[in-house]
Amino acid sequence: MRPGLALPPLALVIIGGTALLVLAVGGLAAFLVALVGGVAALALGAPAIAEAALPAIPAQSTALPELDALLEGIDQPMLLVEGRRIASANRAALALLGRHIVGDDVRLAIRHPAAAARFGGTDPVESSAVDLIGLGSAEQRWEMRIGDAGRGRRVVTLTDQTLNDAAERMRVDFVANASHELRTPLASILGYIETLGDEAGEVPAVRARFLKIMFDEARRMQRLIEDLISLSRIEAEKYRPPSERIDLPALVAQLCTEIKASGSARAADLTCAVGEVPAITGDRAQLLQMLHNLVGNAMKYGRAATPVTITLDTAPGGQARIAVADQGEGIAAEHLPRLTQRFYRVDPGRSRSIGGTGLGLAIVKHIVERHRGRLDLVSTPGIGTTVTVTLPVAVMKP
């Protein structure tokens, strides 16, 4: 237990790296400072606050509204436990565990076998964090940590890990999806290699047909790998703002020239309406990739021989605005929120058969986010789709 220290008139409370200076005027103040300090260090993974910075635990408590408010404002459930009784609980703890837990045995309040083991004496109380799966609701996971607050009191903090779990699940799903997408064309190529080794390979027309299929499957794998590399590069640069000065009218004009010269069957359907817009700060290669993906989709999913239009203009707020519109079968409203998720497709068979990787819009979303822009997808089934990207203009240096 911590040795008793004199109560200073001011106490430093460190929460998540932010230092708050708190006027400590009474017994409860010192106790709460110890409580908050301990909790901040435990809950936020901060190094433990130096012993000398923590005031003594007083025998008597007096009210300190600032610290009460501070504890109440923390949205992480926190309990003060004396022996096994709950002496105090903040609002978040009451919301999670019930209004009447103060005074209860902590093992009854946190109805979870892992918590009961920790407080029941079978596990050492101060050891590592405990996972409480299913506390609150079946899908939730909380991490419980216990810190020594002195004089036989313990601070219990509960940290919601449910979102971290969801992020981990997404990562696992992504690896599984990417492996599956690569395995399918690879299995097809291996099958055709085997067949070519048989007599079928000796018939020139059959051999040519098989080689064409193998080539297409290999190209599909190549496109997928290129998109995966792009995505990971863009994500790696997420927090590094782009720094090139971009002349968007010139960039869009270059894109239109490239597509017209590409010999694509849909190139003749492309119309480019390039207006005057101020320069933006961006990443040229990424912006070109974003536009290629959007125009590529408009051409793939728009009806044959219908126009695909790129419009560059200035939005009412002064930002640069690029809209890519097609006249295709459109997208039903329920799919719109999920289209930028990796490998999400409205019709997976159709997307694959026209060379889609299912990563185009995920790449677009990350590029727009890195440019601090905004992405809007508007679609009317049976009529068509318009994807709009709004980008902030460059700030002029004085």
Residue with the two structure tokens 């792009």: 230
> In sequence order, what are the residues at sequence separation of 6 or more whose Cβ sits closer than 8 angstroms to the Cβ of residue 46?
14, 16, 17, 40
- CB closer to ligand ADP out of 80 and 331: 331
- CB closer to ligand ADP out of 41 and 308: 308
CB 385, min distance to ligand ADP, A: 4
- CB closer to ligand ADP out of 70 and 361: 361
CB 303, min distance to ligand ADP, A: 10
Q: Is 74 left (phi over 0), alpha (psi -120 to 50) or beta?
A: beta
Q: What is the DSSP letter of 202?
A: G
CB 120, min distance to ligand ADP, A: 52
* CA–CA distance, 11 with 342 (Å, rounded to integer): 49
- CB closer to ligand ADP out of 289 and 297: 297
CB 381, min distance to ligand ADP, A: 9
CB 161, min distance to ligand ADP, A: 30
Beta strands in the chain (DSSP E): 10-15, 18-23, 78-82, 85-89, 130-133, 141-150, 153-160, 244-246, 270-274, 280-282, 308-314, 320-325, 374-380, 384-391
User: Residue from 88, 286, 385, 390 that binds ligand ADP (CB under 6 A)?
Assistant: 385
- CB closer to ligand ADP out of 145 and 220: 220
- CB closer to ligand ADP out of 139 and 347: 347
Exposure pattern of 89-123 as b/e (b: 16+ CB <10 Å)?
Answer: bbebbbebbeeebbebebbebbebeebbebbeeee
Task: Identify the sign of the CA torsion 235, 236, 240, 243.
Answer: negative
User: Residue from 79, 234, 326, 373 that binds ligand ADP (CB under 6 A)?
Assistant: 326
Neighbours of 342 (CB within 10 A): 20
Element of type H or E holding 68: helix 65-73
User: Residue from 30, 320, 331, 368 that binds ligand ADP (CB under 6 A)?
Assistant: 331
User: Residue from 33, 301, 375, 389 that binds ligand ADP (CB under 6 A)?
Assistant: 301
CB 369, min distance to ligand ADP, A: 15
* CA–CA distance, 275 with 311 (Å, rounded to integer): 8
Exposure pattern of 1-15 as b/e (b: 16+ CB <10 Å)?
Answer: eeeeeebeeebbbbb
Range in contact with ligand ADP (rule: CB under 6 A) among 61-69, 121-129, 232-240, 323-331: 323-331
User: Residue from 28, 310, 320, 339 that binds ligand ADP (CB under 6 A)?
Assistant: 339
* CA–CA distance, 359 with 380 (Å, rounded to integer): 22
Range in contact with ligand ADP (rule: CB under 6 A) among 93-101, 190-198, 201-209, 338-346: 338-346
On whether the CB atoms of residues 288 and 351 are closer than 8 A, the answer is no
- CB closer to ligand ADP out of 160 and 181: 181
- CB closer to ligand ADP out of 154 and 366: 366
- CB closer to ligand ADP out of 149 and 362: 362
* CA–CA distance, 273 with 248 (Å, rounded to integer): 12
- CB closer to ligand ADP out of 29 and 298: 298
290 lies in the site for ligand ADP, by CB under 6 A: no
CB 268, min distance to ligand ADP, A: 18
* CA–CA distance, 394 with 398 (Å, rounded to integer): 12
Q: What is the DSSP letter of 57?
A: P
Site string for ligand ADP, 340-369 (x = CB under 6 A): -----xxx---x----xxxxxxx-------
Binding site for ligand ADP (CB under 6 A): 297-298, 301, 326, 328, 331, 339, 345-347, 351, 356-362, 385
